[in-house]
Structure 1
Amino acid sequence: MKTPKKIGLFGFGTVGKGFYENLKKYPHISAKIAKVCVKRLDLPRIGHELYFTDNPDELLLDPQLDIIIELIDDPEAAKTYIQKSLLAGKDVISANKKMIGESLQEVSYWHDSFENRFLYEAAVGGGIPIVHTVDGFLRDQEVTEIRGILNGSSNYILTQMQANNWSFEKALREAQLKGFAERNPTLDISGIDAGYKLSILAYHAFGEVPSMKSFEIESIEGVTKEDIKRAKAKRRKIKLVASLKKSNHEIVCSVKPEAVGANDELYSVDYENNAVSVETLISGRHVFAGKGAGSLPTGSAVLEDLKRLLDGYSYQVSKKVRTVA
């Protein structure tokens, strides 16, 4: 029997707890959480059998830890922890879309420079295995377009506003209470969060790093009751649609509210759910849908990355990465 791999876990919030709960359901997985680093030790914690610390070095400098899983909301700290862990020869899993989306050139360097692996399925699409699918199954299909709903928080807000006539403020508060939106929801409602995810998908689909400065990004805060009324009159729903196309060697990305009709695959994707449509030259269109936010769905994506690490999987993204101005 294999000796279980030892995990150092950064963060025990919504996603961290979801990962912990999911891992407990699969005792056959040959890995266990050895240490958890949190900001505050005085908060009540579930899972008191776990060892908690507020000192990052207890994880980063521990040669007994094989895998570091980073699930915190501080992108700068996350980047530091990931870099140090990779340099120490540890495999790393992250869900930090802001850090990854803003640092794709460095992420590409990490993939090229380290034999140990860095995976981040949970950074895009919650429980939908879209990074793995685009990077693996569809990597030879020549992707031409990716379009979808990539932010469960904004989708939940828009759904409640349209289905139940809630105000934006009420829908946002409910999304926060349910764990779909962050305490500071700016990235979610502005569209920037979906922009980070779009840039990650562009990297895996095309081996290129687009500049988010070129993205057309529009917040859902501008959606009015009159907009919703007009959409309903036309039997449409307003969704925050993220779109990525490659045409004439150019990548065009946008994230903006769009009124979609019943014949659109995104029309019936409501509440915290996400959906991604991937268009390929060889096999046509593929549509993936599932929970885009929440503790257990996102935690399940972290768990799947852990399983892939244990199976020896690494990303197949092109080694020739080009920055798109």
Structure 2
Amino acid sequence: MKTPKKIGLFGFGTVGKGFYENLKKYPHLAAQIAKVCVKRLDLPRIGHELYFTDNPEELLGDSEIDIIIELIDDPDAAKTYVEKALLAGKDVISANKKMIGESLQNVAIWHTSFDSSFLYEAAVGGGIPIVNAVDGFFRDQEITEIRGILNGSSNYILTQMQLHGWTFEQALKEAQAKGFAERNPLLDVSGIDASYKLSILAYHAFGEVPSMKSFEIESIENVTKEDIKRAKTKGRKIKLVASLKKTNQEISCSVKPEMVGANDEFYSVDFENNAISVETLISGRHVFVGKGAGAMPTGSAVLEDLKRLLNGYSYQVSNRIKTLA
């Protein structure tokens, strides 16, 4: 049996606990958590057999730790930890879409400058394996368009407005009460969260880092009860749709509420679910649907990245650029 790889885990919140619970289901996997770095040591925690610390250097400076898994909500600290880990020769997994989306120029350099792998399936689409699909399965195909419902909080709010005739404010309170929206929901409802995920997909689909300043972004805060009623009378629903197209070497990116009819693949995707459609020249359209958020779906995506790491996998963006050229 292989000597287990040792994991340094940053963060033990919703996603961190979800990853931990998923990892326990695979006792024969050749990896184990050695240390967990958290902000506060005084909080009660499950899994007391784990070693907790509030000192990042206990993980980053430990030569026996092979893999760093970063699952915190601070994008600046996350970027520092990821870069230090890669410089130390450690493989890294992250779920921090804000850090990755805002640092794609750095990410592109990390992928070509370090022998270590940097994977982040959980940063886009929760439990939907879309980054792996675009990077792997579709690597040798030309992708022309990607559309998606990429934010479960916004989709849950719009679904409740559709079902109950609620205002945005009423639906938001419900989403917060159920844990589908943060106390400060700005990133979700504004469309910015989805734009981070869209930029990551653009990087893997086209091998380019789009300028987020060029994104057309519109918040669902502007959707009214009257808009929902109007859509309903037409047999349609309003969804926050992220769209990515490449025409004549130009990439266009938008995140905005759209009316979708019953013939649209997103029409029946409700509540906190996500959906992503990938259009290719060779094999046509492919639609992925699944849980876009939550402890277990996102934790499972982190676990799948861990399995890929243990099999020596790394992203192939540079090969896609060569293929498209």
TM-score tier by shorter-chain length is over 0.9
Question: CA contact under 8 A between 2:140 and 2:320: conserved in structure 1?
Answer: no
Q: Given residue 154 of structure 1, which amino acid in structure 2 is its aligned partner? A: S
Corresponding residue SS for 1:145:
strand
Q: Could you list the per-position Cα deviations for residues 12-52 of structure 1 after superposition, in whole angstroms to 9, with x for gaps in the alignment? A: 11111111111111112111111111111111111111111
Q: Given residue 89 of structure 2, which amino acid in structure 1 is its aligned partner? A: G
Residue matched to 2:116: 116
Residue matched to 1:183: 183
Q: Could you list the per-position Cα deviations for residues 239-289 of structure 1 after superposition, in whole angstroms to 9, with x for gaps in the alignment? A: 000000000000000000001000000000001100000000000001001
CA distance in 1, matches of 2:178, 2:148: 23
Q: What TM-score does the superposition give when structure 1 sets the normalisation length?
A: 0.97
Structure 1 residues not aligned, in runs of 5+: none
Residue matched to 1:307: 307
Question: CA contact under 8 A between 1:9 and 1:69: conserved in structure 2?
Answer: yes
Please, which moves more after superposition, 251-260 or 311-320?
311-320
Q: Could you list the per-position Cα deviations for residues 59-81 of structure 1 after superposition, in whole angstroms to 9, with x for gaps in the alignment? A: 11111111000000100000000
Question: CA contact under 8 A between 1:142 and 1:282: conserved in structure 2?
Answer: yes
Corresponding residue SS for 1:268:
coil
Q: What TM-score does the superposition give when structure 2 sets the normalisation length?
A: 0.97
Residue matched to 1:18: 18
Corresponding residue SS for 1:8:
strand
How far has the Cα of 1:319 moved from its partner?
A: 6.1
Residue matched to 1:277: 277
How far has the Cα of 1:207 moved from its partner?
A: 0.2
CA distance in 2, matches of 1:177, 1:310: 38
Q: Percent identity?
A: 84
Q: Given residue 7 of structure 1, which amino acid in structure 2 is its aligned partner? A: I
CA distance in 1, matches of 2:66, 2:177: 35
Q: Could you list the per-position Cα deviations for residues 211-234 of structure 1 after superposition, in whole angstroms to 9, with x for gaps in the alignment? A: 010000000000000000000000
Question: CA contact under 8 A between 1:14 and 1:179: conserved in structure 2?
Answer: no
CA distance in 2, matches of 1:23, 1:183: 29
CA distance in 1, matches of 2:183, 2:53: 23
Q: Given residue 84 of structure 2, which amino acid in structure 1 is its aligned partner? A: K
CA RMSD of aligned residues (A): 1.2
How far has the Cα of 1:320 moved from its partner?
A: 8.6
Matches within 5 A, 1:169-208: 169-208=169-208
Count of residue pairs brought into register by the alignment: 321
Corresponding residue SS for 2:318:
coil
CA distance in 2, matches of 1:177, 1:53: 31
Inter-CA distance 170–39: structure 2 relative to 1 (3 Å threshold) = farther
How far has the Cα of 1:139 moved from its partner?
A: 1.1
Asked whether 1:209 is paired with 2:209, we answer yes
CA distance in 1, matches of 2:155, 2:315: 29
Residue matched to 2:131: 131
Residue matched to 1:94: 94
